[in-house]
């Protein structure tokens, strides 16, 4: 589900919305670094600045979703969309996926506007990416016919670790991450529950999760070492 085997032509054919988002990321990143463009002016007009939004520059609730502050920021956010976007675009369809992506990103920026001071500035697609994670969690709970047990465990682990890292990494827009995640979770629950008791379904899923964890056999030493290395590398990346 999250392993990409398509070639370039197949990828852009199968996932046009994800491909377009990645292209916009690349174009705007080049606009902000190549000296042939007015880099500073572009940044000043597109990043989220709460004061300017309040004064009527409403587009700043949208443009920061596609702007990044450096190569690593651009690379890791784009890679997350490259990896996790295609499955959702296939499940939801092009229009619904685009609406989900924009809605969670905009809600994350609105939450930032409402909770942070007027001098606060922000940029990046992480709010929308966390929205995808939230929607995936809803699919895990309500649509077990779509996501296999293995993929459910993978996305749940990544989502939980990402939320934890939100509170550990410095200079992170915590409000945007949480708002995007819960927006995606609520949208997913509302559209995928199919009449089920939403709170009851989440309680049942948490109960099943606790049972699986308590009854699970000790993983092989090889797996423990691999996971340990990945966690250490992640933590090193947080505080570099």
Task: Estimate the crossing angle of helix 221-238 against helix 149-168, to 10 degrees.
Answer: 30
- Residue 68 appears among annotated catalytic residues: no
The catalytically annotated residue of 126, 150, 189, 193 is 126
Of the candidates 120, 146, 121, 124, the one whose C-alpha atom is nearest the C-alpha of residue 135 is 146
Task: Provide φ and ψ at 121, rounded to 5°.
Answer: -120, 150
Q: Is 126 a catalytic residue?
A: yes
Q: For residue 176, what are the CA distances in angstroms to 28, 97, 137?
A: 21, 19, 18
Catalytic one of 25, 68, 122, 177: 177
Residue pair 96/160 in contact (Cβ under 8 Å)? The answer is no
As given in the structure block, the two tokens for residue 217 are 């056999």
Locate the DSSP E strands across the chain.
48-49, 121-122
User: Token pair 């197949």 is at which residue?
Assistant: 10
Active site residues: 126, 177
């Amino acid at each position: 589900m999250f392993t990409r085997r398509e070639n370039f032509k197949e990828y852009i054919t199968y996932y046009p919305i994800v491909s377009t988002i990645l292209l916009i990321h690349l174009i705007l990143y080049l606009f902000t670094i190549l000296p042939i463009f007015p880099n500073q002016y572009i940044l000043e007009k597109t990043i989220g600045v709460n004061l300017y939004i309040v004064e009527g520059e409403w587009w700043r609730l949208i443009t920061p979703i596609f702007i990044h502050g450096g190569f690593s920021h651009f690379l890791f956010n784009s890679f997350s969309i490259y990896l996790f976007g295609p499955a959702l675009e296939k499940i939801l369809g092009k229009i619904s996926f685009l609406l989900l992506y924009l809605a969670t990103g905009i809600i994350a920026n609105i939450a930032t506007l409402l909770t942070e001071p007027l001098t606060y500035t922000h940029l990046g697609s992480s709010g929308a990416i966390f929205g995808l994670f939230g929607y995936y969690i809803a699919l895990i709970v309500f649509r077990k016919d779509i996501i296999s047990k293995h993929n459910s465990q993978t996305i749940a682990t990544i989502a939980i670790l990402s939320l934890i890292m939100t509170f550990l990494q410095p200079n992170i827009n915590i409000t945007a991450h949480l708002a995007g995640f819960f927006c995606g979770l609520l949208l997913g629950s509302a559209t995928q529950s199919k009449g089920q008791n939403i709170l009851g379904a989440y309680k049942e899923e948490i109960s099943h999760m606790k049972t699986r964890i308590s009854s699970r056999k000790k993983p092989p030493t090889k797996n423990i070492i691999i996971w340990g290395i990945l966690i250490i590398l992640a933590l090193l990346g947080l505080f570099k």
